[in-house]
Amino acid sequence: MREVAVLGVGQSQFGKLPERSVTDLGREAAMAAIKDSGLKPKDIQVAYTARIVEPMVTGQTILKEVGVTDIEMINVENACAGGSTAVRGLWKDIAAGFYDVGIAIGVESMTTSTFARQLIPPAKDDLDGQLGLTMPGIFALLARRQMDEHGATLEDFAQVSVKNHHHGCLNPMAQYQKEFTVEEVLASRMIVDPITLLMCCPNTDGAAAVIMCSMDVARKHTTNPIKVAGSVLLSADYTYRQDDITRSPLGGKAARMAYEMSGVGPEDLDLVELHEAFAPEEILRYEDLGLCKPGQGVDLLRSGATWVGGKIPVNPSGGLLALGHPLSASGVRTVCEVALHLRGQAGKRQTPEAKVGLAHMLGGAVAGLEAGACGIHILTR
């Protein structure tokens, strides 16, 4: 397997943008990534595009506007982990030597999709969903268990939102660039007790793209290549094997595999971008990824270590809570964010001297399984 590098990254503005088409959003991200890479559209040999609520052959529709045609194009769907899936597919193609240069795109227009406006209804054979177990409901149950088992408080959950909205103010691409206090988060409309509106990620439109290539190609264009040191995509096991709902066997196993592949450990990470569709979830992911011991996620949050400027900044982009969550785009966007920090190009939210970063994305609710998929990518310089 060959070494793979991130050569170019690009992103559209994230927000409620009903006037912009999926093609327009995807084109903006793809063109930005191509320009950033120093390559030309004709240099791209393969493309992966992730989307959930968009029409067929989305990648072809976007890339013809960029001048990329007549190559292998693959469209994927894997819930919120779709973007991670596109990156993983591209990584495998380049690592295996099938191609030297490719692009992974994640795109979604949540505000214009009829499917999305129906709040993503459960399938007819999804027993949990048909009985009313929505995503907010799942994370509300987890939050209550965190409070009972690990001493988490409502203020802790609110603090995650305060932190990530503060980070969003440092990111010009974020949907929400506004500071909030703990009191304002707690006073916002109740969605599912104890989760309030400002603890939930918003409906968002947006796109992100990443150009990846073999290390040989990367070294022709940069003296400081960003290496994809670890790439893991994993599906979940049966829920009856999960003995504690506050611990994710899926997330933990994916993290261990990524650390083993990359040759680094959680103690080596300089920053993390992770899935926090609801504020209480971020605390659980600290534990999944080994940033702290099981049950100590609340302590890590309270220590201030996960803020920009802290020992291990988590979601310096603003995360899903502030930047927004255009489902399939998020798994690509997290990789782009980590790459920017490793290149020293993250602006006001820059992690000083960042050398190792982790991009995480979790997705999908499947009756009888812990989750649908988990994708983790570790980048190093």
Q: Which residues are catalytic?
A: 80, 325
- Three-state SS at 26: helix
Cα–Cα distance between 179 and 358 in angstroms, integer?
A: 26
Can you tell me which residue has the tokens 């932190």? Answer: 163
Cα–Cα distance between 3 and 225 in angstroms, integer?
A: 11
User: DSSP E strands: which ranges in the chain?
Assistant: 4-11, 46-50, 72-76, 101-109, 190-192, 195-196, 205-214, 226-235, 271-273, 356-363, 373-380
- Three-state SS at 238: strand
The answer to whether 234 touches 253, Cβ cutoff 8 Å, is yes
Q: What tokens does 13 get?
A: 């503005």
Cα–Cα distance between 132 and 142 in angstroms, integer?
A: 16
Cα–Cα distance between 297 and 301 in angstroms, integer?
A: 6
19 Cα distance to chain centroid? 25
The distance in angstroms from the start CA to the end CA of the chain is 19
Question: Within 13 A of 39's CA, how many CA atoms are on the CB side?
Answer: 29
The answer to whether 205 touches 108, Cβ cutoff 8 Å, is yes
Cα–Cα distance between 296 and 158 in angstroms, integer?
A: 17
Q: At what angle do helices 135-150 and 279-288 cross, to 10 degrees?
A: 60
Cα–Cα distance between 23 and 59 in angstroms, integer?
A: 9
Cα–Cα distance between 206 and 329 in angstroms, integer?
A: 7
Question: Within 13 A of 277's CA, how many CA atoms are on the CB side?
Answer: 22
Cα–Cα distance between 300 and 310 in angstroms, integer?
A: 11
